[in-house]
Amino acid sequence: MKTGFESNALIDRLPPHLKQYIKPQLYEQYTPINQAVWRFVMRKNVDYLSKVAHESYVDGLQKTGISIDQIPSMYGMNRILKEIGWAAVAVDGFIPPNAFMEFQAYKILVIASDIRQLEHIEYTPAPDIIHEGAGHAPIIASPDYAEYLRRFGEIGAKAISSAHDTDMYEAVRKLSILKEAEGTPNEEIEAAEAKVLELQEKKVEASEIALIRNLHWWTVEYGLVGTPQNPKIYGAGLLSSIGESEWCMKEEVKKIPYSIDAAYQDFDITKPQPQLYVTPDFAFLQEVLEEFANTMAVRKGGWRGLQKLIGSKQIGTIELSTGLQISGVFTRMIQNEDNEVVYFETEGATALAYREKEIIGHGTQRHSKGFRSPLGQLKKINLAIENMGPRDLQAYNFYDGKPIAFEFESGITVEGMNVTGMRNLNGKLMLIQFTDCWVKYGDEVLFSPEMGDFDLAVGKDIVSAFAGPADYHSFDRVTHKASATETIRITPSEDEKLLNHLYQQVRTFRENQSTNEAFLEGILNLLQVKFPQDWLLPLELCEITAASRSDFSKKATTYLNEVKQRRPKVAHLIDTGLQLL
């Protein structure tokens, strides 16, 4: 099957619902200006971050195939990442949080292949290849950190989201795309910012995915390691932002010892962070992650877990004490006076599984119209159904092919023809099939014979609840559209084409180590006339001729100082570039 991207063994094992997000890198779409932006950021980062980043950063650049001089090819990165057991794929901007986490669980780096505009060279809210490639990739060369990232993905993929999370994801994605698209009217950006702000200020209970996203932000994206007095950078958001990597080291930014409290600290993606968390080492990150996982429905289950799934309105799974897993869109539960779940319902396609494998004959074809079942103990019978052996069943009149009627402690009654039962690997009964069955709760009919066969899910309680299906093969989830907003591709104007051509000429000149300064002077003269606002190409001219101390070198430096006067907002970037010389 033709995929449009180069695969490998790690990518091949991805399930279809993740592969749908992968896009070809389209390396030829990177312009000479894009390459110059990458080179400027990387030269600055390697110079500055070698002093303030975690020791694995500089080594990791080499180990992961990240070049200073040119945007990395995903294919080249994968050849080198393979040595540390990881791979990388290109995607279009933000993808849904659960999918992002699941990629990490498979040891796949998700890399947004677009690159920020020159005007946003210091920071962009949109994920781009500088952030993903130069930020995330180098640090995974540290085995402790790589394992943290994998484990984070494994746990994060199970986190339950809410409808509010979906709205926030779409709003942030739209804002990031509009901000990175050249020529977007200010009113459109302002409207998108207002939507994000509106959602941020909306008073809703934080979902699991929102809380674990906070942990991700304060570690993977904006984490510091060491001590609050002497921190080092390891978060990709800081490693890829030449503005924030300097800002974060100032005293104005509060340094807080990392703990589970970070899960409850919100962030604003559009602004520099006023506080950051410092972990003593990468191993401690895993300790906090496991502490947080102990608060999640995947480990706690119960009515709260089911309530979260109902609120998410998305496919989720509950696991019963027998190991039976029910996956679908949950819509209802009935609780007793102790808040224990005594009945649940799903709507639409539902599948049953055991140990993450769909039970034969109990996929979405059989349960296409939902699934429902009472739970708990039978009335006046001390032995739980799941613990009944063949003799116990006979003692309580559970005979195959015989009618039976019984009542749960909750008051829910079941009456029908007992067909057969199914046990798990430990011999516990986990499913009983009935025909001609009625299930009632007081005066309410919960199930009637015209609805088909009735499958009773056996289990005293819900031990786990998590996002997504137990067996990903059970559902066709290859339905992704690139969201309501796709990355905007702008056709360059004739002037933009000319400017890119000049950047390419200078790049070729540098790579060939040419000494023809007259040629460069012609380019500088054209810049003065046609592109007086551009600062990066004149800086490259200064770089090429700095060692010669020639008349042209002085002329280029003088011109660059003139640009600083015209554009005071980029003066510090020009100074940074000159310092690198």
Q: Which amino acid, 290?
A: E
* Average pLDDT value for the chain: 90
Q: Are strands 254-257 and 275-279 parallel, antiparallel or unpaired?
A: parallel
In Å, what is the CA distance from 17 to each residue of 13, 88, 99, 100? 12, 17, 8, 12
Of the listed ranges 25-39, 241-255, 480-494, the least confidently predicted one is: 480-494
Closest CA to 30 of 79, 74, 62: 74
3-state secondary structure of 132: helix
What pLDDT shows up at residue 252? 92
Stretch among 124-128, 146-150, 356-360, 462-466 having the lowest mean pLDDT:
124-128
Mean pLDDT of 76-97: 86
pLDDT of residue 78: 85
- Over 60: is that where the pLDDT of 481 sits? no
Mean pLDDT, range 494-520, rounded to an integer: 92
The predicted pLDDT at position 258 comes to 98
Note whether 9-290 and 301-474 share their fold.
Answer: no
* CATH class for the domain made up of 9-290: mainly alpha
pLDDT tens per residue, range 297-308: 999 999 999 999
CATH of 301-474, one of 2.60.40.10, 3.30.590.10, 3.40.50.720, 2.30.30.100: 2.30.30.100
- Higher-confidence position of 492 and 233: 233
Alpha carbon distance 59, 441 (integer Å): 65
Query: Is a pLDDT exceeding 60 seen at residue 35?
Result: yes
- Identify the sign of the CA torsion 547, 552, 553, 554: positive
| Beta-strand pair 402-407/372-374 | unpaired
Which tens digits make up the pLDDT trace of 156-181? 999 999 888 888 888 887 887 787 67
The pair of structure tokens assigned to 545 is: 């001729």
pLDDT given for residue 486 in this prediction: 57
**Domain definitions of the chain by residue range:** 9-290, 301-474, 494-580
Rounded-to-integer distance, Cα 410 and Cα 373, Å: 12
With tokens 């849904």, the residue in question is: 96
* pLDDT, average across residues 285-298: 97
Q: What Å distances lie between residue 458 and 182, 325, 345, CA to CA?
A: 58, 11, 14
